[in-house]
Amino acid sequence: MSPPTDRDCLRADGGSDTVDPPPVDVLNAESLDPATLAQNAPRLETVVELLNRPSLARVYVYVCYWGPVGPPSVMDRLELSRSTTYEYVDRLAGLGLVERDESVRPQQLTTDPVVVVEQHVPIVITPTVLHALALQVVDEDVELFVDRHGVGKLVAALRGAGLHAAGKTTYRTVASDIDVRETEAMMVVEALEPALVVGREHDPYFAHLFPDVGDEMDLPDGTTLEGVPSREGRIDE
């Protein structure tokens, strides 16, 4: 069977469109070598697990933005039980996402930012995207949106939220671009604001998602925005 000549996808501007498959020459014997694919497999599995487990992604994003931090800080700021905190930390460490410094007490956790960019689809995954995904855990509007429309459209809505914050689009246009009702677009754009606020300050790959409007967004101060965990007053310092 011949490969499809087009398919539905999410545009980088937050909408949906049709694109041709990526050029065949982006794949070659070297990139398709089984050893190479096996070497890259853990990275793929890591991203898939974060996308499928917003609670785990929430802990990852906190450590990424505010680390080094200890488990007591994670417990306090994210309001998690001790057992849940260590379960998530153990899993993140097992995935190679979190490094533990056990030379001090409490142990200190650090992590490197995750970034996945695929120009041909396009797909962009950065800590800001993972933060938006993790908001499902604490925001019913985001949870409802993902339940109705999926993670892919949440990423598109995040891009639309950034354009809206920069004054480049309207709720109605975002709704049309990502094919949802205007009330849903308004709801999710407003709910995603914390991801934009913290991401612009702490995500080193923020410009990968917003190369054109990152500096133009009119966003509130993160210290006054409800629901944004801060580094201040960490109990493990």
CATH of the domain at 97: 1.10.10.10
Do 124 and 59 share a domain, yes or no? no
| Tokens describing residue 129 | 């995207």
Q: Does a structural domain hold residue 182?
A: yes
Q: Is the pLDDT of residue 14 over 50?
A: no
Q: Does a structural domain hold residue 5?
A: no
Place of tokens 């054109």: 212
Q: Does a structural domain hold residue 130?
A: yes
Q: Does a structural domain hold residue 8?
A: no
What's the predicted TM-score (pTM) here? 0.80
Q: Provide the domain limits for residue 68.
A: 53-111
Do 122 and 213 share a domain, yes or no? yes
- Report pLDDT for 119: 61
Do 139 and 67 share a domain, yes or no? no
- Report pLDDT for 37: 56
Q: Does a structural domain hold residue 43?
A: no
Q: Which amino acid is at 184?
A: E
Do 97 and 182 share a domain, yes or no? no
Residues 6+ apart with CB under 8 A from 163: 13, 14, 169, 174, 213
pLDDT-wise least confident of 3-17, 108-122, 123-137, 138-152: 3-17
Q: What sign has the CA pseudo-torsion 84, 85, 90, 94?
A: positive
**Last-in-domain residue among 111, 131, 154:** 111
Q: What is the residue-wise DSSP string for 128-147?
A: HHHHHHHGGGT-HHHHHHHH
User: What secondary structure letter does DSSP report for 185?
Assistant: H
- Report pLDDT for 1: 37
Do 101 and 130 share a domain, yes or no? no
Do 88 and 176 share a domain, yes or no? no
Do 77 and 151 share a domain, yes or no? no
Work out how many domains the chain is built from and give that number: 2
Q: Does a structural domain hold residue 184?
A: yes
Do 205 and 142 share a domain, yes or no? yes
Q: Does a structural domain hold residue 9?
A: no
Q: Does a structural domain hold residue 3?
A: no
Do 130 and 181 share a domain, yes or no? yes
Residues 186-231: tens digit of each pLDDT: 999 999 999 999 999 999 999 989 999 999 999 987 655 555 555 5
Do 88 and 124 share a domain, yes or no? no
| Residue (of 96, 94, 86, 40) closest to 59 by Cα position | 86
Residues 51-104: tens digit of each pLDDT: 899 999 999 999 999 999 999 999 999 999 999 999 999 999 998 899 999 998
Do 93 and 131 share a domain, yes or no? no
Distance CA 71, CA 54 (A): 18
Percent of the chain with pLDDT over 90: 61
- Report pLDDT for 114: 85
Do 60 and 93 share a domain, yes or no? yes
Distance CA 86, CA 71 (A): 7
